[in-house]
Amino acid sequence: MTYLSPNQLKQYKEEGYISPIEVLSSSEAFEAREEIESIEKKMPNEIDKSGRYNVHLISPKLDSIVHNSRILDAVESIIGKNILVCSTTLFIKNPKEKGFVSYHQDAKYIGLEPHNWVTAWVALTDSNENNGCMRMWPKSHLDIKDHNEKFNEGNLLTRGQTIENVPEDEVKSIELRAGQMSLHHPRIVHGSGVNKSNDRRIGFVIQSYIGTNVKQTLGKNGVQIARGEDKYNYHEVIKRNDLLMSEKSMLLRKKENNYLQEIFYKGAKQKGSF
């Protein structure tokens, strides 16, 4: 059992995030990385750019992380015992690429209301200041802030959504070892810098675990039941898959990713590459 302690919950409530939490062994994290890389080898470009979403639907190793009881215990402590998974994102920064993430709040664009949800960022490689770990602005989750849509080069966000003038001296680096995770609040301001190392930085982000009372207000997406029961039935329920890249799961992922594109670019002036 890895339910959060009262101190951890207090930190989440006050600061808007908790880190680090041990969830996988280093070999489990490495096996997940290997499965991602086997998919990349078999089908180059399938899971990059706008294909980076919902890879858990075609990868049994990522599926098992999404349904990992240590992660779910921690999530339950925050959103309660009925938990749905509404999608996942691979945030990969390769060495020598200029990828970064501008400061933003997830809740501003994701359409999930009310904010009874939490994002799990699971490190499949070490994540540190040198390779562009997440950076969080503590206590910034108390309100929604203005964002500019920059569509700027290197920005790994769909629209380059950016909160300006974040006080860098207040921001905290979230360093994780492979197998650890952080949990962040829907409204916490966060971002990350470029990878200056010689290896990849891989974050597998369950974005997000939602309570069954949460609606998708910008479109629709399927959900998996991770724990408990869903008495609201706001979403189509999709099944778990235990086969690597089965034809059926590839099709399902395509359908879900098309739904996500509609949500991410709703009302946008242009479309980015993610």
Placement of tokens 């301001």 in the chain:
189
From the CB of 248, what's the least distance to ligand AKG, in Å? 28
Q: Which tokens hold the place of 62?
A: 């990522």
Does the footprint of ligand AKG cover residue 109 (CB under 6 A)? no
Q: Which tokens hold the place of 106?
A: 């997830």
How far is the C-alpha of 110 from the C-alpha of 182, rounded, in Å?
A: 19
Return the SS3 of 197: coil
Give me the DSSP letters along 139-196.
TGGGS----EE---TTB-SSS-EE-----GGG-EEE-B-TTEEEEE-TT-EEEE----
Q: Report the residue from 53, 121, 137, 264 that binds ligand AKG according to the rule CB under 6 A.
A: 121
How far is the C-alpha of 252 from the C-alpha of 258, rounded, in Å?
A: 10
Q: Which tokens hold the place of 66?
A: 């999404």
Does the footprint of ligand AKG cover residue 203 (CB under 6 A)? yes
Does the footprint of ligand AKG cover residue 21 (CB under 6 A)? no
Q: Round the CA-based radius of gyration of the chain to a whole number and report it.
A: 17
- The count of residues interacting with ligand AKG (CB under 6 A) is 11
Q: What CA–CA distances, in Å, run from 19 to 4, 70, 134, 190, 247? A: 11, 14, 11, 14, 37
Does the footprint of ligand AKG cover residue 204 (CB under 6 A)? no
Q: Report the residue from 134, 178, 181, 214 that binds ligand AKG according to the rule CB under 6 A.
A: 134
Residue with Cβ nearer ligand AKG (92 or 245): 92
Distance of CA 92 to the CA centre of its chain: 11
The answer, yes or no, to whether the previous bond of 208 is cis (omega within 30 of 0) is yes
Residue with Cβ nearer ligand AKG (53 or 121): 121
From the CB of 204, what's the least distance to ligand AKG, in Å? 10
From the CB of 93, what's the least distance to ligand AKG, in Å? 7
Does the footprint of ligand AKG cover residue 119 (CB under 6 A)? yes
Does the footprint of ligand AKG cover residue 106 (CB under 6 A)? yes
Does the footprint of ligand AKG cover residue 101 (CB under 6 A)? yes
From the CB of 154, what's the least distance to ligand AKG, in Å? 12
From the CB of 181, what's the least distance to ligand AKG, in Å? 11
Indicate the pairing of strand 215-216 with strand 88-93. unpaired
Does the footprint of ligand AKG cover residue 265 (CB under 6 A)? no
From the CB of 101, what's the least distance to ligand AKG, in Å? 4
Q: Report the residue from 12, 17, 53, 91 that binds ligand AKG according to the rule CB under 6 A.
A: 91
Q: Which tokens hold the place of 156?
A: 């790994």
Residue with Cβ nearer ligand AKG (96 or 231): 96
Nearest residue to 193 via CA among 165, 170, 174: 174
Interface residues toward ligand AKG, by CB under 6 A: 91, 101, 106, 119, 121, 134, 190, 192, 203, 205, 207
